[in-house]
Amino acid sequence: MSEQHLGAITVNQAGYPSSGEKLAKFTGETSRYQVIDAATGNVVFTGQTGIYVEDKPSGCRVHTGDFSALTLPGKYRIEGAAGERSAAFVIADKPYYELQQGLLKAFYYYRCGTQLDGDYAGAWGHKACHLAEGTVIGQPELKRDSSGGWHDAGDYGKYSGPGAKAVADLLLAWELYPAAFAGVHTLPESDGVMPDILLECRVELDWLFKMQETGSGGVYHKLTTQHFPGLDVMPEEDTAELYFSPVSATATGDFAGVMAMAARIYQPFDEAYAARCLEAARTAWSWLTAHPHVPGFTNPPGITTGEYGDEVDSDERFWAAAELFRTTGDEQFHGAARELAKLPFPKYSLGWGDMGGYGTLAYLLQGEAGTDPSLYAELREGLLAEAGRLLRQSREDGYRISLLEEDYIWGSNMLVMNNAMLLLIAEHVSGEPEYAACALDHLHYLLGRNVLGISYVSGFGEHSVMHPHHRPSVGDHVLDPVPGLVAGGPDRGLHDEYVREHLQGKPAAQCYADHEDSYSTNEVTIYWNSPAVFVTARFNC
């Protein structure tokens, strides 16, 4: 699959805004090229690629063709001197509208516990799943309602921390770019008032409430079967017993953070719901203060599903404190955030494991008034320094993204989108447009301007992911995968058998296989989609 695209001309297959910069990337020798109208074959632009970069992550000599002068909306391809052709792309005023809708709709497809039906689900419907009560590990007599929320990924587990990251990205997208979500009412619950993005997040928040231990306020780390089901098992056929794994500090911190955020954001739409979120956040915070030293989560005996282990919980605690402070203005949380900020965890990471960046955003996005001026300045400068580093790295990269060779890890596309998110926050904080231009380059990579010429979003682009490690897409007998899903992307660690057998010795950015067996490069997750929603929202305002 990947080989045939190498040496090709790659573009953002979702297209380019009419007024902006338009670059295509070429591998191989410098060449003349032409842009042709996809329908008529007429040549509309001719150019010559510029100086090349020996690009380490992709292992290729990469040239750039700049056709920014072409601004006429239409559908085009680029043709090289030897007749090779790029995928089709459009030039349009708002080329990413459908993409953003599709990336958000993916969360509807991830829904658990409800039937996805014809009108809303198209060819990709299925029956309601995972409706049984779950057993709390260590308390076999305790059964709890476990239904709802989103499946995590290509598997059907539901994990509190990763769920909180996904919701946080979506809520931040709404908070920063509400215009991008205006007038979209396409869900079964749409009422013309609450925007779809908030309705969709409520699905996951409603499930997260069920993950909070009664009494203590601690949050169960995850809810899964003992083992992953087979790859072609549809959700409603996955009927093995469900287990609540024990409470963890990371899950509890993430829960407090996202509930505090939700309390603020739902307030204008549904006061009672907002109050419930805040109460849940406060009780989670109480659990954290009562449990200052907690070992990191590890899978209990007999459970082999995703661990999401994380030894360090000060970042999740920091997020919780900072977000509770932002929402309530209560000095108790401010004091805690200031103390936690002194600890040496990453302050600008939007991980699933490193959540400190959300705390930093909570602190900065409320504005300076009422904050500690020195902490505010430190976080602001640190954020801009980090964004500056990403900018410099992107300028040196053949494909203009910020990933170094060692950053092509499991879920590298999350880093691509998280870094773009950080750049956009830097734009928001500083007003500097160069950060946004760099973020857009990251979107271009995700949508096909990469060494493999593949769009990593299913259903978007002429050469997009066709065989994700996603159980419904494998099991549903529909040729096309569920659309709008972001695949993990290249992982140089070759963490599954398929890639170990097929991709030995490949450069980092080529360590990807569009094959359903490659769970380490071609799985999909809610928290790889969510930062992509944030990024596309910025370019749809």
Active site residue 169: no
What the block records as the tokens of 525 is 């997750």
3-state per-residue secondary structure call for 190-234: CCCCCCHHHHHHHHHHHHHHHCECCCCCCEECEEECCCCCCCCCC
Considering only residues 190 to 249 of the shown chain, the ones binding Zn ion according to CB under 5 A are 235
Residue 276 binds to Zn ion (criterion: CB under 5 A): no
Using CB positions, name the residue nearest to ligand 9MR: 155
Q: Smallest distance, Å, CB 465 to ligand G3I?
A: 14
Give the integer Cα–Cα distance in Å for 278 and 282: 6
Q: Render 244-285 in DSSP notation, one character per residue.
A: EPPEEHHHHHHHHHHHHHHHHHHTTT-HHHHHHHHHHHHHHH
**Site track 122-141 with Zn ion (rule: CB under 5 A), x = hit:** -------xx-----------
Q: Smallest distance, Å, CB 114 to Zn ion?
A: 9
**H or E element in which residue 242 lies:** strand 242-244
Evaluate whether 460 touches 484 at the Cβ level (below 8 Å). Answer: yes
User: Using CB atoms within 10 A of its CB, is residue 302 exposed (0-12), middle (13-18) or buried (19+)?
Assistant: exposed
Taking each helix axis from N to C end, the angle separating 196-210 and 97-109, rounded to the nearest 10 degrees, works out to 30
* Residue 124 or 410 with smaller CB distance to Zn ion: 124
**Site track 153-182 with ligand 9MR (rule: CB under 6 A), x = hit:** xxx---------------------------
Collapse the DSSP code of 55 into the 3-class scheme (helix H, G, I; strand E, B; otherwise coil) and give the result: strand
* Residue 435 or 534 with smaller CB distance to ligand G3I: 534
Q: Smallest distance, Å, CB 308 to ligand G3I?
A: 6
Residue 489 binds: one of ligand 9MR, Zn ion, ligand G3I, none (C-beta under 5 to 8 A by kind): none
Evaluate whether 449 touches 461 at the Cβ level (below 8 Å). Answer: no
**Site track 151-170 with ligand G3I (rule: CB under 6 A), x = hit:** -xx-x-x-------------
Active site residue 428: no
**Site track 207-246 with ligand 9MR (rule: CB under 6 A), x = hit:** ---------------------x--x---------------
Short-list 214, 333, 316, 213, CA closest to 264? 333
* Residue 156 or 399 with smaller CB distance to Zn ion: 156
- Among the listed residues 5, 151, 444, 469, the single catalytic one is 469
Q: What are phi and psi of 31, to 5 degrees?
A: -150, 165
Residue 409 binds to ligand G3I (criterion: CB under 6 A): yes
Collapse the DSSP code of 388 into the 3-class scheme (helix H, G, I; strand E, B; otherwise coil) and give the result: helix
Length of the chain: 541
* Residue 93 or 406 with smaller CB distance to ligand G3I: 406
Considering only residues 520 to 539 of the shown chain, the ones binding ligand G3I according to CB under 6 A are 523, 525
Active site residue 523: yes
Q: Enumerate binding residues for Zn ion (CB under 5 A).
A: 112, 129-130, 235
Residues binding ligand 9MR (CB under 6 A): 153-155, 228, 231, 306, 519, 523
Write out the residues near ligand G3I by the rule CB under 6 A.
Answer: 152-153, 155, 157, 306, 406, 409-411, 493, 495, 519, 523, 525
